[in-house]
Amino acid sequence: MAGILLSHTEKVYITHGVKNEYRSDGRSNIDYRPMELETDVVSHASGSARLRLANTDILVGVKTEIDVPKPDKPGLGKIEFFVDCSANATPEFEGRGGEQLANSISNIMLRAYQSAQAFNLKQLCIFEGKQCWKLYIDILILECGGNLCDAVSLAVKAALFNTRIPFVKAALMDGGNVDLQLSDDPFDSKWLDVGSAPLLVTLCRIGEKCVVDPTAEEESCSLVSLIVGVTGNPKYYNDYEDEEELPAFEAKCSVISMHGPGSVSPQNLRDAINQGIIAAVCLDEALGKTLFRERRDTEQFKRHSYGFLK
Amino acid sequence: MREVFLSNCEKNFVQKTIAEGYRLDGRNYNECRKLNIAFGSEYGSCIVSIGETKVLSQVSCEVVQPKQIRPNEGLLNINVEISPMAAPQFEANRQTDLTVYLNRLLEKCYKDSKCIDLESLCIVVEEKVWSLRVDLKILNHDGNLIECSSIATLASIAHFKRPDVTRSGESIVIHTLADMDPIPTVLYHYPVCVNFAIFKNNILISDPSYIEETVCTSTSEDGTNTGGLLVVGMNQYKEMCLLDLTGAAIYNSNIVHRAIQSAAERCKMVVDLVKKDIMTDDNLRQKRTKINFADIITTDHAQSLCAKDLCIRLKNFTINDIEMEEETDVSKSIDTDDNTALSKYDVVPSLPQTVELKAKKGASTWIDISSESDED
Amino acid sequence: MQDFKLKPMKCELNYLSKSDGSAILSQGDTVVLASVNGPMDIKTVNQSIEKATLEVLFCSKEGKPSVADRYKENIIRHTCETAILGCLYPRTGITLTIQELENYGGLLTCAVNCACLALINSGVGMRHAVAALSCCVDGAGELVLEPTHAQATAARARLHFVFDSREKSLVTGFTEGTFSEGTYEEALARCRAASDLVFAFYRDIVSNYCHVI
Amino acid sequence: MTEVYKHIHPSKYFNDYINQDVRPDGRDFDQQRDVIININGITSADASAIVKCGNTTVVCGIKLELARPKAEEPDIGFLISNVELLPLCSSKFRPGPPSDYAQVISNIVSDIVINSKCVDLKDLCVVTDKLAWVIYCDLVCLDYDGSIVDACIIALITSLKTLSLPTVTYDNETEEVKVDTGVKIPLQVHGLPVATSFGIYHKLPRNIILADPSAYEEEMCGGIGANLIVCWNKGLFCGIQKFGGCNLSTEDEKRTISLAKQRCKLVEQVIETCIKNGEVK
Amino acid sequence: MPLDYKRFNGPEDSVSYKRFTADYLKSYDELHSELIDETGHRKDGRAMDEARPMYVRGNFVSQAKGSSYIEMRGTKVVCSVFDPREIVHQNEFSTVGLLFCEVKFAPFACKRQRQSHVPDSEEKALSVALRKAVGPTVCCQLFANFQIDIFVYIIESDGSCLAAAITAAGLALANAAVPMFDVVTASSVAIIGDKIFIDPTEDEEHLAMISPDTNTNHGVITMARLNGLMQIADFRQIGSLDIECILKVTDILEQECQKVFPKIQKTLVGYVKNGIMEQKRLSEEGKAREAKLKDKMLEWRSSIVNNSV
């Protein structure tokens, strides 16, 4: 993707490593690299997050706007993803170079969030058929170090978790217009329910095996990769009194998509999907626990802010 | 845009002559070419020419929804277009840096200076306002485009009249021009952009021609650039609304000073002319005289393409000398002709050094060579 | 014979100094400005090894491009392509730019005539000159040659023809509205006869300039 | 072998055929290609027609919409027709917004429909100044093999003839609109304009008129598109357009007009039978 | 939105009349009950696991190098492929050829709303998916620095558009004699709860995209398969499905793709046969002509000999 030039021998080295479940940075095939996550980094946005996964750097901002719902979906809000591949990430993104990549990422995010079981747009409704919230999710790719999709989905979920939307009172006026009343208190707002929002896991097929969280070098060794979007478990994102009473959770696929010029055998595909779901569930648990702990800390003014933009 | 190359000898020659106090067309440093404004049959259309530079401007209006942040203001859009008509190096339907530059300067000068009462363009708050669109077409590019297009913008906006509107309850009625007298646009002040070329960091030249503009912004032979273009936007009250410099940095503050002073004079002159011309035009319209762009066509006067190249400075000759020499083949009717058939070049005092070829149907050709001393 | 009166025509050549050839023409109240540049170097993709590529650009007064403008460009391009001896200038481009100044009916015929004058003025080699004329069928079914603005807008049909100067054969034709076969033939014949007047006007203009040069 | 010859020496190849008084596809100079019409094949459109003139294939689909009429003309509806020349129909066209040529064709087709006055736009108004029908006619070329205007006009008129408008009720008080698709009224189509394209091939001593030229013939006659389009509608012309190509003499012109008239009758028959068959079904 | 200057535009506020019909907004349950009748058959009379009949032909567009047309009742797709051409605006040498795919809907293709002329995100996504699906089968290494254009036009869309587009593109590529590893076919299913709709229509797809309130499965899966090599070229799922369901559907889809395969094969073989026959006929004709010429020549020679004698 990002102008990585590898010699044939280097490629063989990586491929052989993957075959023996031992990757060049010491991980096994199902390990993620360490990542840093920070939320609430952009003060002007309703919610924001910055994620750094090894060399991949993503900044996500969520903006809210009041809009009119679609005529055929009167009870639902709207969500829109916009990916900007900054030319800082790699010189190839200069001009319109990153457009294709940006389109494919925003497209897969949109598809992943389409199902109500992944993200319920009903919570964005203000007045059925008249007014709703529209979420603009701006994704800025600051640096490319492989595995963009996973990083983007993590950052988006974190940013949405961090998003507050103000309480609005709506009343129907004469002539079919809706009167909106916004509270004067900026803290009079609600959190979005994002527990079930999906995470994407990219499985890169190298040789005959699949690895998660590929580095840029590994990506260039692979002909085909599979992206699996898996819904999250709300348990980790909320403070339930009694966990026993929750309905049994089952991770579901909200999107599957293939990339790259190669093809896979049916058995490979099945294994990869299985592997992807397992990885996503682990990832979701880690993310949920971290975010929830952070929110609790913030509420108790214990939060230490660090990192850039702050 | 195709690239235009300027030869070194051309560049050097221009720089040298200007340093010596001469300009190619014989003007003084602060002398401008002849400014002419011609109005078309519709309100808000005019062709402005400064010398050979010609710009067509047309104002049109339509009813639109206002912007949410300014619900009680109308809109103003300025749109500059440079087609291959202006000069061969331009390509069709392609925006060049020059187009963007001109557009931006004009927007600064007319939108950001708030010279137009946008609130008077409002019909129904938050629902309907007039949107004015100024379309500028560069017809001929012979330097000083910014000044010419700024005068064209000003003249056409000042000349423009929008249809009258009456409100009856919810609905609005837009009257045709025949129905009800149209309403002129309210202008708080009349800003004009004046363009100067700077040579050698201390020579200030008003109304630069195409070649002067090109030379002053290009690097000289020794690789340094000591010239540039300075645009001053100013209204008739000597209030500045725009200052823009392209080219080399100025280390001589005096030059800006001089430019502003000179611009003030020029603005006054231009605004007066615009106002006067609009007045005359209005009077003519009241008398139901037909005004049309066809009026700018002069038929009794033919100019050959090479006339431009014959612009030479003949200081040491007087017209009498030449007439003596050429008496044999010059027709007797020169003097009478000069007085009766006024062609646009005969009345141009700022172009005294042109050598011109003139033909009348049926008459034999004759040559008229005039010089500065003759004009004096 | 009264039908053979055309609208007053006025023309100035070399109106623009930067173009290789230019003309401003008024026919009645309609005024058009045309400029010709070329033959000059163009992009390799647009080059033709057999003849010069003619590019026509029609600019309406109010600036917004429209589908109808492209149609006008197409008509002018086709007309001028037959008139120009393009094979003299292979691998080059000729740009013809037309600017509408005033439109009081008959804009397209005026534009074609103006384009022809500008081409003559530019010195591009030409097979023949072209003359465009229009004619309309009024409410009573009568033919009116070179109608005024009011007549043209009220007319049932408007027919426009372009003829060449050598054989007076039809180069281009375009019509608006509905009309019968008889009307068409009469209109064609009448316009063809009247085209002489336009050519005479061209000759006048050109001879004027011959004296100068 | 012939294919190679055609590629290497396209004009000579063509000339060889013309010298034998036959066209490369075996037709006579005056002969037109067969017309095949299929109506209402596209169920997602409100009316549709697929027309094949030889290889040239055009699909017309009509979509109905409702809108407020223009303030200046409150009692008329809209008829919007556009021609799309897809990149898939010929290698001459590239993806992206319509080329200049596509715009010219759109303009010609739309002019013919307006000039022939075959649809009275006043019929399309539901409530004056409040509601009117918008008929979007999208003409899509699937195979470009010349004489595109002919095929477009046939497709457009045929689909207009099969179009019927649902009934609309408009409540003046609440501004509520109700549409009943159960009851439909056929649209009144007056007249039946038929366009006939000709190519004019330059040849000494006499130019040759080619009726219904194919894409290759059009190219030989001076570039993309037909040279002469004659549109005949119930005894009247509603458009004669000639662009470029060689100049046209008076006799040639007479012949094209008589050919256009003949063609008009033929096409009329085809359309009528097609619609009748459709109704029977 | 900026106005499109290159087309005739209707009024900006126009809306489809279907918005005002009585059955515009139906509840989920209503729509759900309409899909299947009491006997377990679908609206159009098919069984759940029955695909629509498919009409396939090649050589549809005379001007293209290769083309195809596929009709599955309400879904009609045209595809054409052109000669490889040099990549424009490319500075570097690329060792593999490029595929350029464009999928477009006709403005009147969808039942509900008029499609805009400007490519929307769905068209872009379909184009990307198509490129992914046909990419593995084209021998791109054979035409370095060139690109092959594949244009797909959906004249009418009634579900399973992507599957139809991929199958059509596969056929058109083969028809254009582009070197390929294998024939690619595609098929799709819609899942609503425990029901699996093979080759879904627009209504079925639409419903499968909406999530019911209960936490049941719903979604659409499209798979493209290289039948000879038994490889999966593309796999695309959307909705919310559990793993068992996906694995089950994968098997079903493989079988469905396999079912389409012979149809495409037959069509292709037919064209090859015709081509050979045509070639034979031409060469025979040529031989006959030559023989005739030879006779004439002999005649002429003998006449000369006779004369001279």
Amino acid letter for position C44: T
Is B361's Cβ below 8 Å from some Cβ in C? yes
- Percent of chain B predicted with pLDDT > 90: 40
DSSP D210-256: EES--HHHHHHTTSSS-SEEEEEETTEEEEEEE-SSS-B-HHHHHHH
A164 and A189 Cβ atoms separated by less than 8 Å: yes
pLDDT tens profile B213-244: 988 888 776 777 778 899 999 998 999 999 99
The whole-number pLDDT of residue B355 equals 41
Q: Specify the amino acid at residue D246.
A: C
DSSP string across C13-78: E---SSSSEEEEEEETTEEEEEEEEEEE---GGG--SSSPEEEEEEE-TT----HHHHHHHHHHHH
Exposed (0-12), middle (13-18) or buried (19+): which is C149, by Cβ within 10 Å?
middle
Burial (CB count within 10 angstroms: exposed 0-12, middle 13-18, buried 19+), residue B329: exposed
CA distance C53 to chain D (A): 12
What's the pLDDT band for E149 if we cut at 50, 70, 90?
Answer: very high
In this predicted structure, what is the pLDDT of residue A208?
85
Share of chain A above pLDDT 90, in %: 33
**C200: CB partners within 8 A, 6+ apart:** none
**Mutation to test the B interface, candidates C18, C32, C44, C110, most B Cβ within 10 Å:** C18
Chains that touch A (3 or more CB pairs under 8 A): E
pLDDT band at A302 (very low <50, low <70, confident <90, very high): low
Do chains B and E touch, with touching meaning 3 or more CB–CB pairs less than 8 Å apart?
Answer: no
Residues of A with Cβ-Cβ distance to E209 under 8 angstroms? 114-115
Host H or E run for residue B8: helix B8-19
Half-sphere exposure (Cβ direction) of B76: Cα atoms closer than 13 Å: 25
pLDDT of residue A54: 84
| Chains A and B in direct contact, meaning 3 or more beta-carbon pairs closer than 8 angstroms | no
pLDDT at B364: 38
Predicted local distance difference test score (pLDDT) of residue E78: 95
Confidence of residue A304 (pLDDT cuts 50, 70, 90): low
Domains of chain D from N-terminus onward: 27-280 (3.30.230.70)
The top-scoring range by mean pLDDT among B26-35, E74-83, E90-99 is E74-83
Of residues D216 and B323, more confidence is placed in: D216
Least confident of B357-361, C51-55, D263-267: B357-361
Residue A134 has pLDDT above 70, yes or no: yes
Residue A169 has pLDDT above 90, yes or no: no
Q: What is the rounded distance in angstroms from the CA atom of residue C21 to the CA atom of residue C14?
A: 6
Q: What is the Cα–Cα distance from D136 to D47, expressed in whole angstroms?
A: 10
By the CB < 8 Å criterion, does D238 face chain C? yes
Backbone angles phi, psi at D63, to 5 degrees: -120, 135
pLDDT tens digits along D237-278: 888 888 877 777 788 888 888 999 988 988 999 999 988 888
Task: Identify whether the C-beta of residue C155 lies closer than 8 Å to the C-beta of residue C136.
Answer: yes
- Among D237, D243, D249, the residue with its CB nearest the CB of C169 is D249
CATH 3.10.20.30 fits C2-212, yes or no: no
Query: What percent of chain E clears pLDDT 90, i.e. is strictly above it?
Result: 56
Mean pLDDT of chain E: 89
Looking at residue D33, what is its pLDDT? 92
pLDDT at B301: 57
pLDDT category of residue B375 using cuts at 50, 70 and 90: very low
Using the Cβ of E4 and the Cβ atoms of chain D, whether some distance falls under 8 Å is answered with yes
Name the residue ranges covered by the structural domains of chain E: 23-261
pTM of the model as a whole = 0.87
CB contact under 8 A, D243 and C79: yes
Q: What is the pLDDT of residues E288-304, one digit of tens each?
A: 989 999 999 999 999 88
Query: Comparing A296-305, B238-247, D206-215, which segment has the lowest mean pLDDT?
Result: A296-305
pLDDT of residue E18: 83
pLDDT above 70 (res A241): no
- Residue from the list B41, B140, B302 with its beta carbon closest to the beta carbon of C102: B41
What pLDDT score does A242 carry?
Answer: 64
Q: Is the pLDDT of residue C122 over 50?
A: yes
Facing residue for D138 by CB, picked from E11, E76, E107 = E107
Closest-CA residue of D relative to C82 is D244
* D144 vs C4: which has the higher pLDDT: D144
Q: Which chain C residues have a beta carbon less than 8 Å from that of B61? A: none
Is 60 exceeded by the pLDDT of residue C164?
A: yes
Chains meeting C at 3+ CB pairs closer than 8 A?
B, D, E
Which residues, other chains included, contact B218 with Cβ-Cβ below 8 Å and sequence gap of 6+? B6, B11, B225
Domain map (residue ranges) of chain B:
8-294, 300-375
Delimit the domains of chain C by residue range: 2-212
Work out the pLDDT band at B133, boundaries 50, 70, 90: very high
Residue C45 has pLDDT above 50, yes or no: yes
User: Is D87's CB within 8 Å of E114's CB?
Assistant: no
Per-residue pLDDT of C61-102, as tens digits, reads: 876 788 999 999 999 999 999 899 989 999 999 999 999 999
Mean pLDDT over each residue of chain C, to the nearest integer: 89
Q: Reply yes or no on whether the pLDDT at E34 is more than 90.
A: no
Specify the pLDDT at position A308: 57
D181 touches chain E (CB under 8 A): yes
Q: What is the pLDDT of residue B358?
A: 43
Task: For domain E23-261, say whether CATH 3.90.79.10 is its number.
Answer: no
* CA-based nearest distance C64→chain E, Å: 8
Output b/e per residue, B173-196; b: 16+ Cβ within 10 A.
Answer: ebeeeeeeeeebbeeeebbbbbbb
What is the band of B102 on the pLDDT scale with cuts at 50, 70, 90? very high
pLDDT in tens, E184-219: 999 999 998 888 999 999 989 988 888 777 778 899
Predicted local distance difference test score (pLDDT) of residue C132: 94
Task: With beta carbons less than 8 A apart as the criterion, state whether B277 and B155 touch.
Answer: yes
Average pLDDT over residues E111-133: 87
Contact flag B85-C33 (C-beta cutoff 8 Å): yes
Joined tokens for residue B3: 């690239």
Enumerate the domain spans of chain A.
8-299
* Model confidence at B83: pLDDT above 50: yes
Give me the architecture of the A8-299 domain, per CATH.
2-Layer Sandwich (3.30)
pLDDT at residue C212 greater than cutoff 70:
no
Judged against a pLDDT cut of 70, whether residue B369 lies above it is answered with no
CB contact under 8 A, B56 and C101: yes
- Taking an 8 Å cut-off on Cβ atoms, the answer to whether A261 and E121 are in contact is no
Q: Which fold has domain B8-294?
A: Ribosomal Protein S5; domain 2 (3.30.230)
Say if the Cβ atoms of A264 and E121 lie within 8 Å.
no
Neighbours of C95 (CB within 10 A): 25
**Tokens representing residue A121 in the block:** 């747009």
The alpha-carbon gap from D54 to the nearest alpha carbon of chain C, in Å, equals: 26
Short-list C162, C189, C187, CA closest to C77: C162
Task: Supply the DSSP string of chain D, one letter for each residue.
Answer: -HHHHHHH-HHHHHHHHHHTT--TTS--TT----EEEEES--TTSSEEEEEEETTEEEEEEEEEEEEPPPSSSTT--EEEEEEEE-GGG-TT--SSSPPHHHHHHHHHHHHHHHHHT-S-GGGGEEETTTEEEEEEEEEEEEE--S-HHHHHHHHHHHHHHH-EEEEEEE-TTT--EEEEEEEEEEPP-----EEEEEEEE--SSS-EEEES--HHHHHHTTSSS-SEEEEEETTEEEEEEE-SSS-B-HHHHHHHHHHHHHHHHHHHHHHHHHHHHHHH-
Residue with tokens 């008589």: D258
SS (H, E, C) E61-125: CCCCCEEEEEEECCEEEEEEECCCEECCCCCCCCCCCEEEEEEEECCCCCCCCCCCCCCCHHHHH
The per-residue pLDDT for E255 is: 92
pLDDT band at A246 (very low <50, low <70, confident <90, very high): low
Please check the confidence at residue D4 and state whether its pLDDT lies above 80: yes
**Is the Cβ pair B293, C55 closer than 8 Å?**
no
